[in-house]
A = this chain, B = another copy of it.
Amino acid sequence: MIGRLNHVAIAVPDLEAAMAQYSGALGANVGAPQDEPDHGVTVVFIELPNTKIELLYPLGDESPIRGFLDKNPAGGIHHVCYEVEDIAAAAARLTESGARVLGNGAPKIGAHGKPVLFLHPKDFNGCLIELEEV
A residues with CB within 8 A of B: 1-5, 8, 10-13, 18, 21, 24-28, 48-51, 53, 55, 72, 74-77, 80, 82, 93-94, 97, 99, 121-122, 124-127
Q: Given the known A-B contacts A25-B97, A25-B99, A26-B82, are A5 and B50 also in contact in the complex, defined by CB atoms under 8 Å?
A: yes
Q: Determine which of B26, B75, B82, B127 lies in contact with A126 in the assembled complex, contact meaning CB atoms within 8 Å.
A: B75
A3 and B127 within 8 A (CB): no
A5 and B4 within 8 A (CB): no
Show 28 residue pairs from A and B whose CB-CB distance is below 8 angstroms, ordered by the A residue: A1-B28, A2-B28, A2-B48, A3-B48, A3-B49, A5-B8, A5-B51, A10-B125, A13-B125, A24-B97, A25-B93, A25-B94, A25-B97, A26-B82, A26-B94, A50-B50, A50-B51, A51-B51, A53-B80, A55-B125, A72-B126, A74-B125, A75-B125, A75-B126, A76-B121, A76-B126, A77-B77, A77-B126
